[in-house]
Structure 1
Amino acid sequence: MNTDNKILYTYENLEKDSEGYLKKTKDWNIKLAEEIAKRENITLSSDHWKVIIFVRKFYFKFNITPSMRMLIKSIQKEIGKSKMNSIYLFKLFPKGPAKQASKIAGIPKPVKCL
């Protein structure tokens, strides 16, 4: 297989903002999410993926990245209150669930996040 003409898209050679969020959502893929998560010191579990996929769907449906409050309320409606509470989400994404999940999901940083 000749790979000379293929461009390898890694996190390093993609366009990002000053905080490392992808500038183009179309650049995102699962391998890239795994690479970003690794840089964030996160080993992705099935629950991480539920949140990542959820925030991507939310973004493309409403054209906005969910804030923390929006994320918790919306994900609890879809997945359930018993598991997806703020304490658990912070265990998954210790630097901030809305902020870190969005970064790994390849969508813009939530507007109200510092």
Structure 2
Amino acid sequence: MIEVNGKQIETDAEGFLANLEDWSEEVAVALSQQDQLELGDKHWLVINWIRNYYAEYGTSPNLRAMTKTIGNDLGDEYADKKYLFDLFPYGPAKQAGRYAGMPKPTGCV
């Protein structure tokens, strides 16, 4: 459970939102603050890309899906695992997906 703007937002034990409708940019910032990570423009590009991926495919991208497809939309550097891990050190698909308000990606531990 996290509190954002006086509202209680339900999360699971790993911090993923219980209700995807509860997502907002403020929720993403609150989740990132738990990890002591300040979100910059590059983080938001990935977060919004994940939200768009989910809207199109109905599932959260795992790391393999991310690295195979994200470069086409955001540029080649985003298709590099090391680059993504520099942005999201706890795992790009899992951590960025959590900030994006998506369900935990399949295959992420």
- Equivalent residue, structure 2, for 1:4: none
User: Given the alignment, which residue of 81, 97, 106 partners 1:102?
Assistant: 97
The structure with more radius of gyration: 1
- Count of aligned pairs between the two proteins: 104
Q: What TM-score comes out, normalization by structure 2 length?
A: 0.90
Q: Does 1:57 align with 2:52?
A: yes
Q: What is the CA–CA distance in structure 2 between the aligned matches of 1:53 and 1:66, rounded to whole Å?
A: 12
- Equivalent residue, structure 2, for 1:93: 88
Q: What is the CA–CA distance in structure 1 between the aligned matches of 2:20 and 2:69, rounded to whole Å?
A: 21
Q: Does 1:72 align with 2:38?
A: no
Q: What is the CA–CA distance in structure 2 between the aligned matches of 1:15 and 1:60, rounded to whole Å?
A: 22
Whichever structure has more strand as a proportion of its residues is 2
- Equivalent residue, structure 2, for 1:36: 31
Q: Secondary structure at the match of 1:95?
A: coil
1:111 Cα offset (Å) = 1.1
Q: What TM-score comes out, normalization by structure 1 length?
A: 0.86
Q: Does 1:8 align with 2:3?
A: no
Q: Secondary structure at the match of 2:105?
A: coil
Stretches of structure 2 lacking an aligned partner (at least 5 in a row): none
- State the percentage of identical aligned residues: 37
Which portions of structure 1, spanning 4 or more consecutive aligned residues, are displaced by more than 2 angstroms? Answer: none
